[in-house]
Amino acid sequence: LELKGRRILISGASRGLGRELALQCSRAGGEVIAVARNEKDLESLKREIEATSEAPAPEIYPCDLTDPEKTVEVLGRALPIDVAVFNAGVKYGEDGFFSSKRILETMEVNLLAVVRTLNLLLPSMMERNSGHLVFISSLGGYHGMIRANGYNASKAALSILADSLRMDLLSSGKNIAVTVVKPGLIQTEMLASTGPRFLAVSKEKAARIILKGILKEKEEIAFPKPMHLLSIAVSLLPKRWGWRLFRRVKP
Ligand SMILES: NC(=O)c1ccc[n+]([C@@H]2O[C@H](COP(=O)([O-])OP(=O)(O)OC[C@H]3O[C@@H](n4cnc5c(N)ncnc54)[C@H](OP(=O)(O)O)[C@@H]3O)[C@@H](O)[C@H]2O)c1
């Protein structure tokens, strides 16, 4: 896959991993379409791309992706899209053991907004019989975790949704690739507010790994490797062992 001349939609491009992906995609020649709520941050991204890259200026669309009407309006203007990176996400450090409000908010952004966006993007990709869908999930989707009930459940659902979609696309003979990205910890504001920082990779490194995988049209990009293996092991171990491991984690 070559990014030059391709229209790449990146949700959550105002900061963190999404912003860094936008910068690296445009340096690779891609035409970035950046979506997030914070207009000022999107404008600052646009200025930085204009100053540092030969690629066309990015299109920026301020939009709350949990607002279905606004999403329809914005994506209607942004089509056609060649590569869609579903990166926008939220994680709340749970202060109590259960908060339906927090879980519903998390599901809205991390899962339901993705479904709504897919509903708008897929028909045009199917018609053109080309496209690439990239889902930024998490190693957290492999297992339950203390103080992450809504987040880990949303990422488990997102990974399974993407894997199932890939099978449906393959069985219908469509030339649309699906990549699931499962990072461990990345040094961004999300991590600063909810988690331990050791073992975390920089957002620059994470974006490089992800971009390399996208260019190879990999089905899964999971990193760092030791954490990926640990996540698989935890998901296979007796549940009691997972509890023993994670009760030490104090976000
Ligand atoms: N950081 C980690 O350790 C880590 C690990 C594994 C996976 N991930 C995943 O990587 C992705 C990026 O995370 P990050 O660490 O870069 O987080 P971040 O720094 O908190 O950035 C989150 C991005 O999502 C956008 N966003 C949130 N709610 C939105 C909404 N309703 N509508 C539109 N955009 C919205 C935010 O933009 P606005 O506020 O401007 O809307 C922001 O650009 C997420 O899916 C996250 O779950 C992160």
CB of 169 within 6 A of ligand 1: the answer is no
Distances (CA, A) of 191 to 98, 115, 119: 20, 25, 30
Q: Is 79 in the pocket of ligand 1 (CB under 6 A)?
A: no
For a mutational test of ligand 1's pocket, the pick from 9, 10, 11, 14, i.e. the residue with the most ligand atoms closer than 8 A to its C-beta, is 14
Q: What is the pLDDT of residues 116-168, one digit of tens each?
A: 999 999 999 999 999 999 999 999 999 998 889 999 999 999 999 999 999 99
Is residue 151 annotated as part of the catalytic site, yes or no?
yes
Q: List the helix and strand counts (H, then E) for the chain.
A: 10, 7
pLDDT at residue 251 tops 90: no
Q: Is 39 left (phi over 0), alpha (psi -120 to 50) or beta?
A: alpha
Q: DSSP for 27-69, please give it.
A: HTT-EEEEEES-HHHHHHHHHHHHHH-SSPPPEEEE--TT-HH
Which ligand 1 atom lies nearest to the CA of residue 108? 31
Residue 229 CB contacts under 8 Å (≥ 6 apart), including other chains:
none
**pLDDT class of 10 with cuts at 50, 70, 90:** very high
Distance 129 CA to ligand 1 centre (A): 29
| Cβ 147 under 6 angstroms from ligand 1 | no
Atom of ligand 1 nearest to the CA of 151: 47
- Report which of 95, 174, 103, 105 is spatially closest to residue 133, judged by C-alpha positions: 174
Strand order in the sheet with 31-36: 59-62, 31-36, 7-11, 83-86, 131-136, 176-183, 220-223
Q: Is the pLDDT of residue 98 over 60?
A: yes
Looking at residue 171, its amino acid is S
Q: pTM to 2 decimals? A: 0.97
Does residue 33 contact residue 84 with C-beta atoms inside 8 Å?
no
CB 91 within 8 A of CB 194: yes
Q: Is 114 in the pocket of ligand 1 (CB under 6 A)?
A: no
